[in-house]
């Protein structure tokens, strides 16, 4: 018995020499994406998917050896959702679509679910390293984007010609958006995620000048992407952190308001120096109300023919990869695309996951503000774009869900221990023999 215990202890405490791949995943993935600027022969998506697959295998191996798998309601729902999406690939094959379409969609939108499991098990130090690594990678992405936006080197035009449909290229050049090397939609999402963390650092960190500066850079970058959903996401981040400060003992609402004014002053200066940018922003904001109408042509198709089966038509069959193959393609609007592809079964599973996470997030809101902001922001963006299928966006989305689940369970177990201690303390007096 002694040998068994010693063996288990040895396995549990064994350091993981591959942990750096997980904690620095975003630095690796962003660098690999950066190489696409120079050559389109580099299969960025395949390489990043391979790295995630390695993280999956490493995680499963540790779970198999350690035998410490804990499954709660949210985790069970996610596993069921994952399994059904895998099954949905074969539904697509049965309907006559190539299996490569489903696999590609799975590697982009669902393989990142591994970061949910990473998120629920990371300790505070590992989480800190992961978040800082993420922010640094996004700052690099932003710096490259700002350089290309203002200086427009030849490599930038080459990249645009390779990644943007020729039909849109003229309008993009006439009213440029900041794309960096990921595209403006992905850049907007990632920048908003980084902003959520930087704003929370304003509350807890002592390096205020640094975080005010970085928050300003990130806000300015969100504006340069000219993505309406990203602008709303960024504003929501500010609102949620302001709500948090109302009950925070670390910083007053007055101070956070003062920091917000400083950031706004910097942004006003930018608009003063670049008046054309302000005109373009006003045009994009004024068209906000038309954003849904612009996508009605795709969404209406769903209501007419999309909900034709409970099981759906197959993962990825109605998105960009199914273009020119299927009669109906939904290019914008994740939820309607989801209903069409994985049917009511898969959609209900996803809705239950979100309801579970949002409920937990509300209950421990002041302990998980940045993660809660990220989840809500991405879910909002998915109304008008296929954000849930972006390979660079989804790892942080699922990681945030994992952290919310972890924080909720930690708070719940702490309360349980306190109640148990109080109960044991009171029982102490009732179990003492009376003399």
Is residue 89 a part of any domain in this protein? Answer: yes
With a CB cutoff of 8 Å and minimum separation 6, the contacts of 244 are 200, 203, 365, 366, 369
Q: Is residue 54 part of a domain?
A: yes
Q: Under a CB-based contact definition with an 8 Å cutoff, are residues 101 and 43 in contact? A: no
- Please tell me the distance from the alpha carbon of residue 22 to that of residue 287, in angstroms, as a whole number: 40
Domain that includes residue 83, residue range: 16-285+340-410
Residue 21 has a pLDDT of 92
Residue 419 lies in a domain: no
What pTM, to 2 d.p., does this model score? 0.85
Write the Ramachandran bin of 14: left for phi over 0, alpha for psi from -120 to 50, otherwise beta.
beta
Q: Do the domain assignments include residue 118? A: yes
pLDDT of residue 429: 42
CA angle 176, 180, 184 (to 5 degrees): 60
Domain-located, residue 335: no
Closest-CA residue to 315 (of 80, 94, 52, 103): 103
pLDDT at res. 284: 58
Q: What pLDDT score does 97 carry?
A: 84
**Does a structural domain hold residue 308?**
no
The reported pLDDT for the residue numbered 96 is 83
User: What is the full per-residue pLDDT of the chain (435 aa) written as tens digits?
Assistant: 334 344 433 334 445 677 889 999 999 999 999 998 888 788 899 999 999 999 999 888 877 665 566 678 899 999 999 999 999 999 888 888 889 888 999 999 999 999 999 999 888 899 999 999 999 999 999 999 999 888 888 888 888 777 765 545 666 665 578 888 998 899 999 999 999 999 888 887 777 788 888 988 998 899 888 888 888 898 888 888 888 877 766 666 666 666 667 767 777 776 666 666 666 666 655 555 555 555 555 555 555 554 456 778 888 887 766 665 666 677 777 888 888 888 889 999 999 999 999 999 999 988 899 999 999 999 999 988 889 989 999 999 999 999 999 999 988 877 655 555 555 444 444 344 444
Q: How many domains does the structure of the chain reveal? A: 1
Q: Is residue 183 part of a domain?
A: yes
pLDDT of residue 430: 39
* DSSP class of 181: T
DSSP 213-238: HHHHHHHHHHHHHT-HHHHHHHHHHH
Contact residues for 91 (Cβ-Cβ < 8 A; gap 6+): 311, 312, 313, 314, 315
Name the DSSP class of 305: I
Is 401 domain-assigned?
yes
pLDDT for the residue 61: 82
């Amino acid at each position: 018995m002694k040998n068994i215990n010693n063996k288990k202890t040895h396995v549990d405490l064994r350091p993981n020499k591959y942990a750096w791949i997980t904690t620095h995943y975003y630095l690796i993935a962003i660098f690999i994406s950066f190489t696409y600027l120079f050559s389109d022969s580099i299969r960025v998506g395949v390489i990043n998917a391979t790295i995630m697959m390695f993280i999956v295998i490493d995680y499963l191996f540790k779970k198999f050896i350690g035998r410490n798998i804990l499954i709660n309601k949210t985790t069970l729902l996610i596993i069921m959702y994952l399994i059904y999406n895998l099954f949905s690939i074969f539904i697509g094959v049965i309907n006559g679509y190539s299996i490569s379409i489903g696999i590609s969609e799975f590697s982009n939108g669902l393989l990142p679910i591994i970061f949910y499991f990473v998120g629920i098990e990371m300790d505070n130090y590992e989480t800190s390293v992961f978040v800082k690594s993420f922010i640094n990678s996004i700052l690099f992405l932003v710096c490259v984007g700002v350089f290309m936006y203002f200086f427009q080197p030849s490599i930038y035009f080459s990249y645009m010609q390779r990644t943007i449909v020729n039909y849109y290229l003229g309008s993009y050049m006439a009213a440029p958006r900041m794309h960096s090397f990921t595209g403006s939609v992905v850049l907007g999402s990632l920048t908003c995620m980084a902003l959520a963390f930087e704003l929370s650092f304003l509350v807890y960190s002592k390096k205020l000048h640094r975080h005010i500066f970085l928050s300003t850079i990130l806000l300015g970058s969100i504006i340069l992407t000219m993505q309406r959903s990203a602008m709303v996401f960024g504003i929501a981040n500010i609102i949620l952190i302001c709500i948090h400060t109302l009950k925070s003992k670390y910083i007053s609402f007055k101070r956070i308001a003062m920091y917000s004014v400083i950031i706004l002053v910097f942004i006003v200066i930018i608009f003063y120096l670049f008046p054309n940018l302000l005109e373009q922003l006003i045009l994009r904001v004024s068209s906000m109300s038309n954003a849904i109408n612009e996508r009605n042509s795709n969404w209406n198709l769903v209501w007419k023919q999309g909900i034709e089966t409970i099981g759906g038509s197959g993962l990825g069959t109605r998105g960009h990869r199914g273009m020119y193959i299927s009669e109906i393609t939904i290019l914008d609007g994740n939820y309607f695309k989801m209903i069409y592809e994985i049917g009511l079964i898969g959609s209900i599973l996803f809705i239950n996951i979100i309801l579970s996470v949002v409920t937990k997030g509300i209950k421990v809101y002041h302990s998980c503000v940045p993660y809660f902001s990220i989840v809500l922001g991405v879910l909002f963006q998915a109304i008008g774009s296929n954000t849930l299928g972006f390979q660079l966006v989804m790892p942080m989305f699922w990681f945030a869900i994992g952290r919310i689940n972890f924080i909720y369970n930690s708070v719940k177990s702490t309360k349980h221990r306190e109640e148990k201690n109080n109960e044991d303390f009171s029982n102490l007096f009732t179990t003492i023999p009376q003399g």
